[in-house]
Amino acid sequence: MYGSSMRFLLLFSRQGKLRLQKWFTPLPERERKKIVRDMTTLVLARKPRTCNFLHWKDLKIVYKRYASLYFCCALEEQENELLALEILHRYVELLDKYFGNVCELDIIFNFEKAYFILDEFLMGGEVQETSKQSIANSIEASDMLQETMEEYMSKPAF
Amino acid sequence: MSDVVEKTLTALPSLLSLDSQSGAGKLSSTSKLGGLIRSITELTSKHEEEKLINRELAAIKEQVSSPNTSMRQMKEIMVRAIYCEMLGYEASFSYIHAIKLAQQGSAIEKRVGYLAVSLFLNESHDLLLLLVNTVLKDLQSTNLIEVCMALTVVSQLFPKDMIPAILPLVEEKLTNPKEIIRRKAVLALHKFYLIAPNQVQHIHSKFRKALCDKDPGVMTASLHIYLQLIKENPDSYKDLTGSFVAILRQVVGGKLPVDFNYHNVPAPWLQIQLLRILSLLGKDDQSTSELMYEVLDESLRRAEMNHNITYAILYECVKAIYTIYPKSELLEKAAKCIGNFVVSPKINLKYLGLKALTYVVQQDASLALQHQMTIIECLDHSDSIIKRETLEVLFRITNVKNVAVIVEKMLDFLKLCNDDYTIIDLVGKVAELAEKYSPNNEWFIQTMNVVFSLGGELMHPDIPNNFLRLLAQGFGSEEEEQQQLRVFAVDSYLTLLESDTAHLPQRFLQVISWALGEFSYLKDGLEPCKVTKLLAKLLDERNVTSESRSWILSAMAKLSAGPGAAALALQVSERYSSSLDTVLRQQALELLHLSQDPELHARVLPHGAAWDSFEVDSSLSFLDSFVSEALSQGAAPYKAPHQRQEELRQEKALSLEPYSISLPVSLSSCSITDRQSPTLLSMSSSLSGNSNELKAGSSTLKLEGVKRVWGKEGYLHQQDAVEEAAQVEEAATPALPLSPQQGGAESQQTHGDLTVVEQEKQKLASSLFVGLGSQNSTFLMGKSDSTSQQFRRKTRAADSTSSGVSERSSSSSHSSCSDFLHNNLLEDSQNSLNTQKIGVSNGTHEGPVTQSFQTANGIPEEDGEELGNPLPVIVDSDVASIGTETSKETSPFLDAGMVLVQPCSPQTELRDFVQPGSSGITQTSLRSQFPPELSQLPHSDISLLSSDHSLSLSACRAYRDDALLFVIILSNCSQSSTNGLSVQLDCKQLKVASLRGNALENLPAHSMSVCWYALLMEEPHTQVTVAGSVSYRAVPGHTQTLQFTDKLFLTDFIRPLTLSTEEYGKLWLSFSQDVRQNLKLIQGEGDPLRATLSALKEQLQLHIVDIIGSEGIVACRLLPDSPCLLHCRIHGGSLAVWLRSPLLSLPDCLLYYCQKTLEEC
């Protein structure tokens, strides 16, 4: 296990349904399933007005609830929990900017888009780009492919 | 931009339009996925969902395998497959199609293909190899988006072995005109560096270029790599400190484009990354730290307390300030800042404040004093996470005076805790505190009882082992005290056994039976047969494991001599002599014989004999005649277990198990507690083998029937004393700055109208924070506390035969040592008396220092001989088995690891070269100080480690066959002599084979002495840092410490492994894991293979076993005894190398140096 600053990121609903999962370190399938189970039970069991952090094995879990969705990520012990909260927050802002007043349904029905946005924001567990504008630009560029493929292909290289 | 969002919004069911374009007239993909999602949400049971998904998967399966499915349809099928996998259903049949989609689809389809691959596959999945070509193609694409996709997938998952294939292309992207490509390429390289550091060794110069990139985004990305590099080796990057400081200054000053702002804070991620790098660079380095004081100050000042992100920066800033070389002005500001965190009503901030306190209090415990009321409130916080973090703070401020209260709080928490990980951690901490600061024997035994009950099978096996060793050897104080401890233990265990034992964890039962077997005779009026009866009862319990039974039986064997016990022993041994468990059967028979033959019993298991009077002949030489007789009658010679295994393996076609050398592990893990019967050796090794067994149920067990003597009454008694002490201290330090809370609390106290709750809190506070007051000045020596503690643990683990210093004495001396540091203002005179006597300040509250402790510390050589015995045997058998001849003339191993101090006479010439840093230090003059056994060894240059006005330390590495000797040369360059010199060395990653390295005697003015440690690297690391300290007294009563660090490399621990081609072949087959790598060939005159191999041999101490045609086999070993085999072959223009080793990470580490060597050639 090597150290990228974030180990995994999960999105799940209040009912414990997984909506998105991103693993930044290689883990066998069984381990992943166990982690998802552990995370949903741990986080959903938290009482209101407790802090947004948890210990799990040797990792720090940072989670935050936005409407009906929980955003939850795992960090190494020495990482900065507040910063991780802001990473989650920025991701929500990015989703919001893309979907416009994002809600859980947007993410359920367009989860692949949520993944694409995440890939522009985080890479290998590290923050790659923090500017909302730049991320929107690159997502837009990729999305454009879909509609004007032919037109685009005739253009000179980007 | 808003129109883009709008467009995507209106196109939210966007794919709908896309599919209508496809015009196939079938249902659109969204409605298919949407339909699936909708029908799932309508379902009521898990069973229905399963049925639906299975139907869906069957449909998908059919579609993907149909040749008529277009890539566009495939894309929407993949999305559905991803969805099914997310719900927890397996769709492995679609993996290959995901790869196909990434390969053949147009850009937009490719994107889904790549996404599916990165979600479906693991880094080690075989199918991933099929992706390599696609990635290669896309990396060379002229389409920006395709390149981006390829880089993204590469940093998400890529087979490690295939990195060389794409590395040149990724490198090339570092010069791409588009910054987004450069940034992604840098991050991809970062990922490569993490998974295979040796692959990107050669492009360090390109990282520097990325750091200087004109785009701040690329520069930020490169910092991820630098953070990693600097973490591993801060010294090589000190020259960049100025640049990092300059960047941070610009960022803090708002010089970056607003694009990088986050909630009006300039590039917070970049700031934090820089702060982390700076703290690594400034650690233990005054001159580097000085460069950054100003910018850190500015960061603190600029960050306004208004947003989470600024708190995050502040936290990192405070952390940096406390990590680098301290500056009091900054520390003060940082402490104030932490204060704001701790008192914040926001719970997240409070948590982070507590987290910061855990390391801040190590340097300045008075900060905890300022926040005592908050800490007390947090102890009762409804959120257990906050509670846990508070305990962590308390753990760091524990001392002899508050240990009882803090341990009680920790145990209270433990009783309610049901998380295994937390239990293991906390139980270990409680045990550590109890050993270190125990106020009295009774408390110690009771606390350890709770530890064993709560920790159960989860806790670290060291805890019971250390406890037993402590019980066995005592703590070097008076014999009476020691006996009292044992009697307490016996008493409390008898009480436990008389009540219900079903809930006691196995480990605890083992501790109990050993202690009863060994010490129950100490209790007056206790019939051995009473104890035997209790043990027999325990033996019959159903839930007792056979491992515990074996402990119980050996306890009974010890007790079987007494009247009445024999009959019972007979009964028991009859029952177990037919046991299926061979160990139990053997022990039952031993019990039978011992109980019937009192004479034999008295000889084998004498009562209360001093532990050091036993000589264990672990070479079993008394069997020599028996063996030679058997051999002469044609018996096969003995083969060690692993040798037999190896032979067995060769008969099999495939060896699936990693090669393991089991013998040394089991021998070294057998602790002193087994000393009384050599036959127990096997048992103790099985104990360590089983120690990982976890039993979940045991965590909830409660200890019933234990007198909680240390509970309320004991605690109250303790508290009285403690409060008194607190008052004394407060009086003694009137200058103590009072925090608002504390001041407030005090005034309340004087008014006398406290509520009961408040009073209790106040009481708790005074008992928790006692002993911290005397060090309100910034406490910079705090770090030495933790290092010496680690060192102590280390020696204990390494020290299988145990030294003359009893465990207890070392722990109490340690505690008092830190105590001394804490209280030096008040107790100076008292301590100085003691320190003069023994070289380690030792003013325990438990009484004067005893003779045994002195001798133990003073004359290490004597034990050295004796202690050295068991280990050479291991080395011998082991090394011989892998075919080396190295062990033949090895001197007793630990013997040479001892510290020998040789003050030297020629004082006149020393005067000039021992000046710190003076160029006058000549290698030869220092070398002339080496004792003969050292000077014959090859060794590195001598370098200056550290110095102060009176002492200067130099070091060099001497390469002995069986260990690396880390030689420390101490020279006294002052006019007066120094006393009580003591050296401590610490390195977590290495095994320090020297038993203990301190207790040097006095060093006259202008003289030198040499000492050395024998080091072994059991786990491969490319390099490790050793840190240590020398404490000494130049002025009587005033102990000074000189810290030093040095680096050791893997190559220091590599020795040639001499073996024949046949032996090599056998060994090769016994390992299964291969690592393959292409290396550069040295092209010169003559055979390039020979040239390359001999270059490696020269530089890395490898042994060339054989060279046949274009292939060569090479072998080496990592000290102590881990072989690594290299099989080299010329392939194309390079040298293909396969490596095998029982240590999985050794090949990688070794490759790193092979590459480095060949690059330099």
Which ranges in B859-903 belong to alpha helices (H)? 860-868, 870-881, 893-897
Contact (CB, 8 A) for B787 and B986: yes
With an 8 Å Cβ cutoff, is B309 touching chain A? Answer: yes
Our CA-based measurement puts residue A154 at a distance from the nearest CA of chain B, in whole angstroms, of 11
3-state secondary structure of B1017: coil
3-state secondary structure of B546: helix
**What is the DSSP pairing of strand B265-266 with strand B1075-1080?**
unpaired
Closest CA to A86 of B261, B415, B994: B261
Our CA-based measurement puts residue B259 at a distance from the nearest CA of chain A, in whole angstroms, of 6
Q: Which run of H or of E encompasses B499?
A: none
The residue of chain A with its CA nearest to that of B10 is A99
* CA–CA distance, B871 with B798 (Å, rounded to integer): 11
Longest CA–CA separation in chain B, Å: 102
The answer to whether B190 contacts A124, with C-beta atoms less than 8 Å apart, is yes
Q: Report how far apart, in Å, the C-alpha atoms of A27 and of each of A23, A31, B427, B725 are.
A: 8, 6, 29, 54
- What confidence score (pLDDT) does residue A42 get? 92
Q: Looking at the predicted structure, is the pLDDT value of residue A85 above 90?
A: yes
Q: Which run of H or of E encompasses B1118?
A: strand B1111-1118
Contact (CB, 8 A) for B449 and B496: yes
Q: Output the six-digit token pair for B254.
A: 């708002």
pLDDT digits (tens, 9 = 90+) for B679-737: 333 333 333 333 333 333 333 333 333 333 333 333 334 334 344 444 444 444 444 34
What is the side-by-side strand order in the sheet with B943-947? B943-947, B951-959, B964-972, B1008-1016, B991-992
With an 8 Å Cβ cutoff, is A123 touching chain B? Answer: yes
* CA–CA distance, A147 with B836 (Å, rounded to integer): 86
- What confidence score (pLDDT) does residue B652 get? 52
User: Residues in chain B with pLDDT < 50?
Assistant: 1-29, 653-655, 657, 660-750, 752, 774-921, 995-999
Closest CA to B278 of B301, B295, B261: B295
The answer to whether B421 contacts A58, with C-beta atoms less than 8 Å apart, is yes
**B 84-103 residues with CB < 8 A to A:** 86-88
Contact (CB, 8 A) for B997 and B985: yes
The residue of chain B with its CA nearest to that of A29 is B122
DSSP E strand boundaries for B222-323: 261-262, 265-266
Closest CA to B768 of B333, B321, B410: B410
With an 8 Å Cβ cutoff, is B82 touching chain A? Answer: yes
Q: Which of A33, A51, A112 sits opposite B88 (nearest CB)?
A: A33
Q: Looking at the predicted structure, is the pLDDT value of residue A9 above 90?
A: yes
Contact (CB, 8 A) for A87 and B86: no
Contact (CB, 8 A) for A116 and A142: yes
* CA–CA distance, B291 with B282 (Å, rounded to integer): 9
Instruction: Enumerate long-range contacts of B287-290, CB under 8 Å, 24 or more apart.
Output: B288/B238, B288/B241, B288/B324, B288/B325, B289/B324, B289/B325, B289/B327, B290/B325
Per-residue confidence at A69, pLDDT binned at 50, 70, 90? very high
The answer to whether B308 contacts A146, with C-beta atoms less than 8 Å apart, is no
Q: Which residues contact A100 (CB under 8 A, 6 or more apart)?
A: B5, B6, B9
pLDDT digits (tens, 9 = 90+) for B402-448: 888 999 999 999 988 888 888 999 999 999 999 888 888 889 999 99
Q: Output the six-digit token pair for B657.
A: 């198990």
- What confidence score (pLDDT) does residue B798 get? 38
Tell which wins on pLDDT, A141 or B900.
A141
Mean pLDDT of A36-47: 92
With an 8 Å Cβ cutoff, is B37 touching chain A? Answer: yes
Q: Which run of H or of E encompasses B227?
A: helix B216-232
B79 neighbourhood in chain A, CB within 8 Å:
112
Contact (CB, 8 A) for B791 and B986: yes
Q: Which residues contact B644 (CB under 8 A, 6 or more apart)?
A: none
Q: How many residues does chain A have?
A: 158
The residue of chain A with its CA nearest to that of B424 is A57
* CA–CA distance, B501 with A105 (Å, rounded to integer): 56
Size of interface A-B (CB pairs under 8 A): 176
The answer to whether A124 contacts B123, with C-beta atoms less than 8 Å apart, is no
Closest CA to B406 of B419, B395, B420, B416: B395
* CA–CA distance, A18 with B21 (Å, rounded to integer): 32
* CA–CA distance, B981 with B961 (Å, rounded to integer): 29
Kindly tell me the burial class for residue B1151, based on how many C-beta atoms sit within 10 Å of its own C-beta (0-12, 13-18, 19 or more).
buried
* CA–CA distance, B449 with B409 (Å, rounded to integer): 16
Contact (CB, 8 A) for B1034 and B978: yes
* CA–CA distance, B888 with B430 (Å, rounded to integer): 45
With an 8 Å Cβ cutoff, is B909 touching chain A? Answer: no
Q: Which of A98, A129, A157 sits opposite B8 (nearest CB)?
A: A98
pLDDT digits (tens, 9 = 90+) for B504-563: 889 899 999 888 888 888 887 777 778 888 888 888 888 888 888 888 888 888 887 766
Q: pTM of the full predicted structure?
A: 0.62
Contact (CB, 8 A) for B430 and B447: yes
Tell me which amino acid residue B125 is. Answer: H
With an 8 Å Cβ cutoff, is B4 touching chain A? Answer: yes
- What confidence score (pLDDT) does residue B809 get? 37
- What confidence score (pLDDT) does residue B741 get? 43
- What confidence score (pLDDT) does residue B894 get? 34
With an 8 Å Cβ cutoff, is A128 touching chain B? Answer: yes
Residue in the block written with tokens 């035997």: B532
